[in-house]
Amino acid sequence: MEQNRGNWYLLTGLILGLALGMIYTWVISPVREVDTHPNLLRDDYKDIYRSLISRAYQANNNLPRAEARLELIGDDAPALALAAQAQRFLAENGDNEMAKVLANLSAALQISSGPAATPIPPTVSAISEDETSNGSNSGSNSENDGQDSATSTREPTSEALSAPTPSPTSSPPFILQDSSPICDPTLGETLIQIIATDGSGEGVPGITLKISLGTNSSEVFYTGLKPELGLGYADYLAEPGLTYQLEVPDSGLV
C-alpha cells in the first residue's frame, strides 16, 4: 500500500513540474523569435545560400533578382565569392555540376558589371619557369596532328580556344588557335593556362575542360572561375616533366 502511494507521489510531481514548466515558457518568459539576416550566417551556410541562388538563376535567368539576393549575404565582391566557392567545390572533389552553376552566375555578374578588371587578350600564354625547345615542338606537333598534349617540362604548353562565327557550313564549337610556352620566373609554379574566346575575341565562361595524365582519371575544371583574369580564363597547376592531355568535351577538341 505504501509502495503504491509513493508511485502516485512521483506521478503527481511529474505532472506539476511539466505544468509549471509550460506556464513559465509560454506565459512568464516565452521565446521571442528574432529574424536573422543572411550576412550573419556561418560561412558554410552562406555557401548553401549562394548555391540556392545560383540554382534559382539557372532556372529563371533572372539576374536582377539573383543580384538582390546576393546583396543580402554582404560579400564585398559577389562574383569573386561565387568563383571562389566553385573552386572550392572542385578542389574538394565536390559536385562538378554545382561548380559550373556557380561559375555561370559569377560570369553573368562580371558581364553585367562591364569588362573584367584585367582582361587577357585572346591569345595563348603558357607560363613556366624555363622555356625549352621541347615545349615548342610539342605545340607545333599538336597543330599538325590535330591533337594537343600539354607537356610540362618546366614549361607546359597552354591552349586558347576560339569559337568560330556562325557560318552555313558545320564547324566545331572550338578550334585550337594557338599553343606556345612562355617563361615567367615570377610565378614560381608551372601552369597550363587556357583562354576560351568567341569569334569577337570575348572570353567565354563556363566551358568544361578535362585534363588527364596518361591512363589516370581526368580532372574537370571550367573557364571563368577567376574572373579577375578574364571570363574565358582557366588554369591548371601542373607538375614539371609530365605530359598532360587536355580535352574540351563539348567540341571534341583534344
pLDDT digits (tens, 9 = 90+) for 17-35: 999 999 988 888 887 767 7
Confidence bin at 47 (pLDDT 50/70/90) = very high
Tens of pLDDT, residue by residue over 75-98, are: 988 988 898 888 888 877 667 788
Does one domain contain both 165 and 238?
A: yes
Residue 89 grid coordinates: 567545390
Determine, yes or no, domain membership for 1: no
Determine, yes or no, domain membership for 92: yes
The backbone torsions φ and ψ at residue 126, rounded to the nearest 5 degrees and listed phi first, read: -105, 130
In the block, which residue shows the cell 556561418? 42
Tens of pLDDT, residue by residue over 132-184, are: 333 333 443 434 443 344 444 444 444 444 444 444 444 456 777 777 777 77
Q: How many domains does the chain have?
A: 2
CA angle 83, 237, 227 (to 5 degrees): 25
For the question of whether the overall pTM of this predicted structure is more than 0.75, the answer is no
Residue 106 domain boundaries: 38-112
Determine, yes or no, domain membership for 152: yes
Determine, yes or no, domain membership for 7: no
Sheet containing 159-162, strands listed edge to edge, beginning at the edge strand earlier in sequence: 175-178, 159-162, 191-197, 233-237
Confidence bin at 250 (pLDDT 50/70/90) = low
Alpha-helical segments (H) within 61-193: 63-73, 78-91, 96-112, 133-145
